Chain A
């Protein structure tokens, strides 16, 4: 997923080869991650697609099925991966992920500690941010989930950047070997206050910690615990509102046919007998629609106090 040198960067000349991970895009809400193999076949509602047809084509190509339907083959990115990965736990989405990476001040070369790993959604973006010479050490107390995460990082080519450990961070804290080495620590735990003292030991001075909690009571307790070794404690919530965009025509109220049509909720173009339809200006309309996510979790950030 991430280029290890400039020859692997996405380009017109970087073509799909055997073993590559591609994202098969049918629609913005229907996508699937597929590992390309010489003999592989993909079946979906558009028909059958042979992987061998994909090999040698550039990413972004439009591929037709035996029945004439088509899909696009996209290069995987952490954003697309978050939308297609299998959810073993509730995951973080792009709005929270982006804010966390910026607010934790993660740049290439950083060492980041994370717990819990969950489904690896955030870990993938952390890996991107620390590449090429940094590292993400992520811990989950659930052995099976840790193993699934390890498999995913293999599939997405991130194993050299992410190490998964099985460990109960709430009970045991982070391993001593990381003391004073972490630039940033991320906690997504049910009782993060139990892990905060250990996180304080792991961080370099002025290093940043983030704790993600769905409930305000967890936030209050975490902030209490943070006060002894941390400063600059801030809590946020972030959401991404999406808009629906379509082209349409809003008739004048003097246009009888137009008003009637809009009363009926008719979105079809008016079939006007005197051919005026084409002269009516069509505008692009945007609005927010329906129900949207109201809450994911609270993000609490803090800096390790500077002790001279």
Chain B
């Protein structure tokens, strides 16, 4: 196992390939049917179907390893799955058929009488210690219609039974990609319908890299903040601005397994703190505070509902929270540094002096121009910015206003389009269902509005 020297230099835990006690993981159940987040501790459990299994066997395992639910003497547990034993994707058998399929479904009648094993028979097998795979085999052997099905159909049947009687769990590393896909699939509204391709365009268009100072107005629970911080490797700063007195919630950031170094560089600051502090502007600052209190009220409403939703997403977090508090059990668990702390005044002074090197706005339910007119002036000249919105019109208006106020050039409104394909022998085609929209983006580069030579 190669441990690059660069891994030591890095803000460490991001690139670790083996799970550790207290780390955040993504659990993929039955090949994407269900995806949830978990924190691996000695006491955490997961419920699959009607079985409760401990997550302890997953600690110290490589990301990418698979487990299968088995039922043992002490109840259900997660057993490691050896990849070679069952081939890859169970489709090896179908690959062998180079001859044309001559079976079809003309004689098959779907009346639920094909299977001769009953639920009690299966329970009996389990009591005698049969593995999930053995039960699936038995179901196939006892199906009157199995042999008459086409090879593809047999495959589908096998997979369906396996998912029910021998469910599999895949251990995944949480990255911006996997976190976004998990949310987009089941709770897209919580991340403002931000699809993974749209999310990937944000750090690109905003030129996020090491040593950047990125201003990120993130109303998507922190998924944008997290994906930006992920690309900075514990250098530079991510600043979450807010109006009024309360920073926006960024709970998704916790799922990324960021090191302390990265966490302490994710800071929040109020708009009044960030704006120029000369006499002329302080009055407008106060007005802004009043206007923004309305926004803050909206935010508070969003905060309370989304905090609950996060628990639903995590599903087993309540158990985890209890064990997390037991510091003695595992010192690595205790997070000494929390992301999103208020920025110290020296850092704010540094930002005001130098300007931010890029800006990302992700507020799909607010007016885009209203935010841009306050935040774009905080950028350095030639700094790129990108604004995400779920509707087209606010971005068109914002673009027009930026242009007429000569605040930016290289302005572009675009919409990403993404399509996934099923690629199988003789069965290659795009997926039957696809996402119709991943939102819209307005990108541009800040310039000085005064004509100087």
Residues of chain A touching chain B, judged by Cβ–Cβ distance below 8 Å, are 2-6, 8-14, 25, 28, 58-64, 72-75, 77-79, 94-95, 97-99, 101-103, 105, 107-111, 125, 128-129, 131-135, 180-181, 183, 204-206, 216, 219-220, 223-224, 227-228, 230-231, 233-243, 245, 247, 284-286, 298, 300, 303-308
Contacts and interface: CB of A to CB of B under 8 A. Distances in A.
B6 A306 contact: no
B6 A8 contact: no
Given A240-B416, A242-B412, A243-B396, A220 B209 contact: no
A25 B381 CA distance: 14
Nearest to B417: A239
Given A99-B200, A308-B65, A241 B410 contact: no
Interface stretch (B33-41, B183-191, B352-360): B352-360
Contacts of B10: 108-109, 133
Given A72-B409, A286-B392, A183 B15 contact: yes
A32 to B, nearest CB: 14
Contacts of B17: 204-206
B49 interface: no
Of listed B10, B392, B421, residue having the most chain A CB within 10 A: B421
B166 interface: no
A8 B453 contact: no
A107 B233 contact: yes
Interface of B: 1-2, 4, 6-7, 9-11, 14-15, 17, 61-66, 80, 82-84, 88-89, 91-92, 95, 173, 175-177, 196-197, 199-201, 203-205, 207, 209-213, 227, 230-236, 353-355, 357-358, 380-384, 392-393, 395-397, 399-400, 409-421, 423-425, 428, 440, 445-448, 451-453
B197 A95 contact: yes
B413 A245 contact: yes
Given A98-B201, A108-B235, 6 more contacts: A107-B233, A108-B11, A237-B418, A237-B421, A243-B396, A243-B415
A108 B415 CA distance: 28
Contact of B89 (A105, A110, A205, A227): A227
B209 A2 contact: yes
Contacts of A6: 211, 235-236
B448 A62 contact: yes
27 contacts: A10-B357, A11-B354, A12-B381, A60-B445, A62-B452, A72-B409, A77-B207, A77-B384, A95-B201, A98-B197, A102-B199, A103-B196, A109-B10, A128-B209, A204-B17, A231-B64, A234-B420, A238-B416, A242-B415, A243-B415, A285-B396, A303-B64, A305-B83, A306-B62, A307-B83, A308-B61, A308-B65
Nearest to A73: B382
Given A10-B357, A77-B207, A94-B201, A286 B413 contact: yes
B129 to A, nearest CB: 24
A98 B415 contact: no
A134 B65 CA distance: 25
Contact of A241 (B200, B211, B353, B414): B414
B355 to A, nearest CB: 5
Contact of A306 (B65, B209, B416, B424): B65
B448 A227 contact: no
A30 to B, nearest CB: 11
Contact of A204 (B2, B209, B393): B2
The 8 nearest A-B residue pairs measured at CB: A60-B381, A108-B233, A60-B382, A206-B64, A11-B354, A102-B200, A306-B64, A59-B382
A286 B453 contact: no
A296 to B, nearest CB: 11
A30 B91 CA distance: 51
A252 B92 CA distance: 65
B211 A242 contact: no
A103 B409 contact: no
Nearest to A110: B15
B391 to A, nearest CB: 10
Nearest to B83: A305
A79 B200 CA distance: 13
Given A64-B453, A77-B384, A227-B91, A235 B213 contact: no
B199 A58 contact: no
B88 A235 contact: no
Nearest to A104: B177
Nearest to B404: A247
Given A228-B88, A242-B413, A298-B421, A74 B445 contact: yes
A13 B63 CA distance: 44
A12 B380 CA distance: 5
Contact of B204 (A111, A125, A134, A135): A125
A98 B400 contact: no
Contacts of B382: 10, 58-60, 72-75
A96 to B, nearest CB: 10
Contact of A13 (B209, B353, B396): B353
Contacts of B423: 219-220, 223, 233, 235, 300
B418 A236 contact: yes
Nearest to A285: B396
A10 B383 contact: yes
Contacts of A227: 88-89, 91-92, 95
B63 A206 contact: yes
A231 B84 CA distance: 12
Contacts of B1: 180
Given A28-B412, A133-B10, A107 B230 contact: yes
A224 B9 contact: no
A129 B423 CA distance: 29
B213 A60 contact: no
A215 B314 CA distance: 40
Contacts of A300: 423
Contact of A102 (B177, B233, B428): B177
